[in-house]
Structure 1
């Protein structure tokens, strides 16, 4: 039967081993587990409350509980009962320091938890929940109570005087903190700091730090920052401190522009002072003695009502504060006024007006000259030209040796330039001499007969033909040059002057003598005259060479 059972239920060595191990472990935990269960550590703050829990764990129910006690052990190692509970005799609080601050939460030996109210920093320490049992004896569990204290932070500046030695300019403190705080300085002024700590009787720590530097006037008003770090603070505590550095006044004078001329009104000087503490008095004096009568002083401002030689001096401004006094001086130089400032605008206006008038006259003259030149180029005689008479010398004009060719008109209209085909009549040359007499000779007869075929065909002789004529001497050919410079000279001699009586008129006829017979002939030119814009007339058929 045993073999059959073994065959049906085989024993697995590995599985059995695991079962045995688990059983042994549970037994060991049951044996080694504390019977009194408490919290290992608690944190609390002064004036607050804390609950200390305690329970007895009797696994088999074989332990008999007699009473329970709470024992306080401060940091110095002294043990003292603060609360006792007996199921028959009730509650007891033997320690006077905890009287009225400790109570049992439950009237039970199995759960003798207590509450401590209105905590003090001195309440920190070890709290032991201890059972008196039978037959195992006393059983206990211990809780450590840590008291925390938020620091009392403060910071302040120290008023100092500017100097050459390093002194304390700011202080920062984190007092009665637990655990101790740390202090940092954030400062752009380039100083240094020192820190010290002091322990209190209740376990708190006070940390102090001082900031030092060599103070200068420029450091006055600058900020340094104290920052405190501590466990109980959610974020660092930051406090800015404004430095206070006292120094003598620094004085300067402004307002002098080096243009104090005689007669100037309300010239002003301003005395500026930088000081800590603030200046108490500001005084103006003159190096030459009392202030001139034209000077008025109002606080830090000195005003000269009328500049004269009396203010050609040195002005001194003295500023005082609680630490002492400082002064500054400036020398003013009075100059002579070059002109009356009130008439400067009138003079400038007169100058500008004169210039504008001069420019207007120059422009008008330029326009008149330009117009006169244009009229001369077009052949218009000016008012200063004279008209040649039949004798050639009534007005005494000297036109030089000049030949004028006059074409007789057969009645047909000629072109404006005098070279039309209708000028097929005889050509007369009018010679003007230096003796103011002019003679008209019929040198054109030979020319006319020599070139008769021109007239028969209706072609008038051209200027080129005249130049090629053997009748004209070399001097006349040179005078007939068509250069632009000679044209302007010819136009000047081509103008007629006014006769006695003031009018520009053309004489009715030229009295000429034929060169070969000496008989006189009248040549009328009014049939080919053309009126001009200025009232004069010019022959269309006359060619001047």
Structure 2
């Protein structure tokens, strides 16, 4: 028995260990990027290591068969090593371990695909962020005019062609009465033909092809005028129906 005793209390101190891992400043998750062929493309990648050490940074591209190809790598002691795209890629920063964005110096359509920025830290390990790149090409376009003759049946008056990725959209700017027909082929090729029944009053009228594409701020106009050949229309002026030798004041003109 204890009288006036002091109770004993045991206090249990719980120590909570909080692990703070680094994270990507850019790009955000599920990041998609569009670029245009023959321009410089920046694939963003910047990682906040939260005080840990970044040992290595790798850029990889996923091939069509699902395999991964190493494009470029930066190591904290061994420096930078590039793959088969050495002539067209480099790190954007002189210190790729702190700012790891990739530059494709002269983008090609073959560069389209899925990339991964992989950051290896110590002691936490490996972090990676995927990027999807779409490469557009500017349209290459031409218009093939057709010389028509009055009296011909309904036929093609002009043919417009264009190739790009994604495929362009073709339309016609004209006041002529006719019909257009559009076709789409492989490799981003499209064509549009404008057909009509040729009349002489159509000669010299506007028949322009308009090429629309996401790479263009406004539709590209290919200017064209319709050519319709027709026989001359002789007009006699100053004649009252009475012909005689030495008659003057009579004139024949063609319209």
User: Is 1:191–2:178 an aligned residue pair?
Assistant: yes
Return the alpha-carbon distance in structure 2 between the equivalents of residues 108 and 86 of structure 1: 9
User: Is 1:248–2:228 an aligned residue pair?
Assistant: no
Equivalent residue runs for 1:123-522 within 5 Å? 123-133=111-121, 136-175=124-163, 177-200=164-187, 205-258=188-241, 265-274=246-255
- SS of aligned partner of 2:233: strand
Return the alpha-carbon distance in structure 1 between the equivalents of residues 253 and 63 of structure 2: 68
Kept in 1, the 8 Å contact 2:26–2:47? The answer is: no
**1:464 aligns to what?**
none
Return the alpha-carbon distance in structure 2 between the equivalents of residues 158 and 74 of structure 1: 46
Alpha-carbon offset, residue 163 of structure 1: 3.3
Kept in 2, the 8 Å contact 1:186–1:226? The answer is: yes
Alpha-carbon offset, residue 73 of structure 1: 2.7
Return the alpha-carbon distance in structure 2 between the equivalents of residues 240 and 45 of structure 1: 26
Return the alpha-carbon distance in structure 1 between the equivalents of residues 94 and 128 of structure 2: 18
**1:57 aligns to what?**
48
Of the two, which has the highest radius of gyration? Answer: 1
Q: Which has the higher contact order (CA 8 A, sep 6+)?
A: 2
Question: Which one of the candidate residues 42, 46, 51 is aligned to 2:33?
Answer: 42
Task: Please give the TM-score of this superposition, normalised by the length of structure 2.
Answer: 0.77
For structure 2, the 5+ residue unaligned runs are 1-17
Alpha-carbon offset, residue 169 of structure 1: 0.5
Task: Please give the TM-score of this superposition, normalised by the length of structure 1.
Answer: 0.39
Alpha-carbon offset, residue 167 of structure 1: 1.1
Runs of 4+ in 1 over 6 A off after TM superposition: none
- SS of aligned partner of 2:49: coil
For structure 1, the 5+ residue unaligned runs are 1-26, 275-545
Return the structure number with greater helix share.
Answer: 1
In angstroms, what is the RMSD of aligned CA positions? 2.9
Count of matched residue positions in the alignment of Structure 1 and Structure 2: 234
- SS of aligned partner of 1:257: coil
**1:69 aligns to what?**
58
Summarize the Cα distance change of 1:243–1:76 in structure 2 as closer, same or farther, 3 Å threshold: farther
- SS of aligned partner of 1:241: coil
Partner deviation per Cα, 1:368-403 (whole Å, 9 max, x = no partner):
xxxxxxxxxxxxxxxxxxxxxxxxxxxxxxxxxxxx
Return the alpha-carbon distance in structure 1 between the equivalents of residues 110 and 193 of structure 2: 30
Return the structure number with greater strand share.
Answer: 2
